[in-house]
């Protein structure tokens, strides 16, 4: 529809839309509008990053978590979850293997596991920094104090991923137990930004109770935070959580939001997530064609991959690191993009 084409053109030119215009665009896009949105998103991405796609080596080092978030398969209340912790030596071995495979960013992700104290995390980070000084180190280990974040940064961490999940306090409360708050999650993100990290936030698309007004709140929050990375993916239910019977988020909505985010934040690093690949066999390729420029193959040992299940049906749980890397590189090449050997830093 012509109105939506005008809205997309305005978003591409001004990086913002009035709330009423965003709602209208979100609720009335047709296939022709989608193609225009994705084409503009690709143009915006290529002006900053060309056709380069950055690989991040994901190391899921602990499936223990003290929190009881209602959507997550690792929640403390899930007695069926398979728990494990990698040793420091195993984590360093994953990094060594990743380096041989030309990864230059390592993403260390876990539940909020009290076993991994600040001293342990700092030791791991400093060892990676010593072994691979030309690589970026990203942490994704949840809510911490500002002092903890500073210690990790001083040890050598460069980036931190912390999805805010929703910027609306009431919606946040519906997804999390009472001891967790939207305000503290936002505090963490601003602390990380002030310390000097490249910071990533993000949301689940189609999370239970999410409305277009919640998405607007998310966009306004991101405009305030100005993140370097934005990680979004569809909500996918896990059978052992309170949301086991809720519908999953859709591929279409996730791609729409990716395209919109690329136009709003042309310099941002946007992953085409594993969750996208889980809900559609070409989901990650479609994500790149909608404006994403990062993928995160798994470097975790194959023996533990099937135990780190945030949601049901997760792909690539049985593959070795080299298989994940080779498969993803070939997929990206087929859609006309190029995997580069690079830290893949944010471009200002």
Residue 271: the pLDDT is 98
Q: What sign does the CA torsion over 185, 190, 191, 197 have?
A: positive
Closest CA to 86 of 305, 293, 239: 305
Q: State the Cα torsion 236-238-242-246 to the nearest 10°.
A: 40
Tokens of 244: 């086991």
Per-residue pLDDT, 185 = 98
pLDDT at 182: 98
Beta strands in the chain (DSSP E): 52-55, 57-62, 105-110, 136-140, 159-161, 198-201, 204-205, 229-230, 233-234, 294-295, 338-340
Which one, of 171, 85, 88, 175, lies nearest residue 131 by Cα? 88
Tell which residue, 266, 272, 135, 284, has the closest CA to residue 202. Answer: 272
Give the C-alpha separation, 317 to 202, whole Å. 23
CA dist 94 and 335 (Å) reads: 28
Whether the predicted pLDDT of 133 surpasses 90: yes
* Tens-digit pLDDT profile for residues 158-177: 999 999 999 999 999 999 99
Distance, in Å, from the CA atom of 18 to the CA atom of 24, rounded to the nearest integer, reads 10
pLDDT at res. 320 = 78
Residue 257: Cβ within 10 Å count: 26
Whether the predicted pLDDT of 183 surpasses 90:
yes
Q: Please state the φ and ψ torsions of residue 80, each to the nearest 5 degrees.
A: -90, -10
What's the pLDDT score for residue 316?
85
> Does the pLDDT value for residue 248 go beyond 80?
yes
> What mean pLDDT value characterizes the chain?
96
Q: How confident is the model at residue 204 (pLDDT cuts 50, 70, 90)?
A: very high
Using 50, 70 and 90 to split pLDDT, how confident is the model at 88?
A: very high
Closest CA to 128 of 95, 87, 160, 100: 95
Beta bridge partners of 108: 59, 139
Q: What is the pLDDT of residue 323?
A: 81
Least confident of 233-247, 311-325, 333-347: 311-325
- pLDDT confidence of residue 324: 83
pLDDT digits (tens, 9 = 90+) for 236-247: 999 999 999 999
- Would you state the pLDDT for residue 317? 79
Whether the pLDDT of residue 273 is over 90: the answer is: yes
| Rounded Cα gap, residues 305 and 90, in angstroms | 13
How confident is the model at residue 105, as a pLDDT?
98
What was the pLDDT predicted at 281?
95
Position 23 pLDDT exceeds 90: yes
Plot region of 46 (φ>0 → left; ψ -120 to 50 → alpha; else → beta): alpha
Span 286-312, pLDDT tens digits: 999 999 999 999 999 999 999 999 999
pLDDT at 51 over 80: yes
Neighbours of 329 (CB within 10 A): 18
Tokens of 159: 């980036």
pLDDT at residue number 321: 77
Cα–Cα dist 23/20, whole Å: 5
The confidence band for 262, taking pLDDT boundaries of 50, 70 and 90, is very high
DSSP per-residue string spanning 175-241: HS-TT--HHHHHHHHHHHHHHT-EEEE-BEET-TT--HHHHHHHHHHHHHH--SEE--EE----TTS
Task: Please enumerate in sequence order all residues whose Cβ is within 8 A of that of 181, keeping only pairs 6 or more positions apart, or say none.
Answer: 169, 172, 173
Residues near 100 by Cβ (< 8 Å), separated by ≥ 6?
none
Distance CA 315, CA 305 (A): 10
């Amino acid at each position: 529809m012509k109105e939506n084409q005008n809205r997309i053109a305005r978003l591409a030119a001004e990086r913002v839309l009035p709330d009423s215009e965003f709602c209208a665009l979100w609720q009335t896009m047709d296939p022709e509008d989608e193609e225009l949105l994705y084409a503009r998103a690709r143009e915006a991405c290529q002006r900053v990053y060309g056709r380069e796609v950055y690989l991040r080596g994901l190391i899921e080092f602990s499936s223990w978590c003290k929190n009881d978030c209602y959507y997550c398969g690792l929640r403390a209340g899930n007695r069926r979850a398979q728990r494990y912790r990698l040793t420091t030596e195993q984590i360093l071995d994953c990094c060594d293997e990743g380096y041989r495979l030309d990864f230059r960013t390592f993403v260390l992700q876990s539940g909020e596991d009290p076993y991994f104290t600040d001293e342990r995390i700092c030791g791991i980070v400093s060892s990676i920094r010593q072994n691979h000084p030309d690589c970026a180190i990203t942490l994704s280990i949840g809510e911490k104090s500002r002092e903890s974040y500073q210690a990790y940064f001083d040890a050598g961490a460069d980036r931190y991923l912390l999805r805010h999940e929703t910027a609306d306090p009431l919606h946040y409360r519906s997804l999390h137990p009472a001891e967790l708050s939207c305000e503290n999650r936002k505090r963490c993100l601003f602390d990380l930004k002030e310390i000097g990290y490249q910071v990533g936030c993000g949301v689940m698309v189609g999370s239970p109770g999410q409305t277009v007004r919640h998405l607007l709140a998310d966009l306004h929050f991101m405009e305030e935070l100005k993140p370097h990375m934005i990680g979004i993916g569809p909500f996918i239910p896990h059978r052992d959580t309170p949301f086991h019977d809720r519908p999953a988020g859709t591929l279409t909505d996730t791609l729409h939001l990716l395209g919109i985010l690329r136009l709003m934040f042309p310099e941002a690093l946007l992953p085409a997530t594993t969750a996208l690949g889980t809900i559609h066999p070409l989901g990650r390729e479609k994500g790149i064609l909608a404006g994403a420029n990062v993928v995160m193959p798994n470097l975790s040992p194959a023996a533990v991959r099937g135990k780190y299940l945030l949601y049901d049906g997760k792909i690539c749980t049985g593959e070795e690191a080299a298989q994940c890397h080779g498969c993803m590189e070939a997929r990206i090449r087929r859609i006309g993009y190029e995997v580069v050997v690079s830290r893949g830093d944010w471009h200002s």
